[in-house]
Amino acid sequence: AQSVAQPEDQVNVAEGNPLTVKCTYSVSGNPYLFWYVQYPNRGLQFLLKYITGDNLVKGSYGFEAEFNKSQTSFHLKKPSALVSDSALYFCAVRDVFSGNTPLVFGKGTRLSVIA
């Protein structure tokens, strides 16, 4: 079975400070990992993904995430937060060998960047 845990419901950070949104996962095989962002009353926007290769993945809007196999984590980071980054962030996982199955999502973390 696949699962994703986002331990924080809410993350608050001051504008200009670095931000981290945590994600840990569980799969039986190798993971495909994703981060999505959702603004109010909108669908999900793809930010970045890890499939294979370099553990540090860079994505849209200056975000990056680091795949850590030993800790089964894929935390989302940004060096300097903007007020416009305030949104709901979802981590998702799929087992590489799970066939044509959909992504499994975490419950989401609401990021609030304060000016």
Partner 1 sequence: GAVVSQHPSRVICKSGTSVKIECRSLDFQATTMFWYRQFPKQSLMLMATSNEGSKATYEQGVEKDKFLINHASLTLSTLTVTSAHPEDSSFYICSARVLSRGETDTQYFGPGTRLTVL
Sites of contact with partner 1 (CB under 8 A): 32, 34, 36, 41-46, 49, 51, 90, 92, 94, 100-103, 105-108
Considering beta carbons, is residue 32 or 82 the nearer one to partner 1? 32
Question: Tell me, what amino acid is at 23?
Answer: C
Distance between CA 109 and CA 44 in Å, rounded?
A: 13
Task: Give the amino acid at 13.
Answer: V
DSSP label at 9? S
Torsion sign (Cα): 22, 43, 83, 78: positive
CB of 76 to partner 1, least distance (A): 16
Would you say 51 or 83 has its CB closer to partner 1? 51
Work out how close the CB of 44 gets to partner 1 at its nearest, in angstroms, rounded to a whole number. Answer: 4
Which is nearer to partner 1, 41 or 70 (by Cβ)?
A: 41
Q: Could you tell me which of 2, 1, 6 has the C-alpha nearest to residue 74? A: 6
Question: CB 16 → partner 1: shortest distance, Å?
Answer: 27
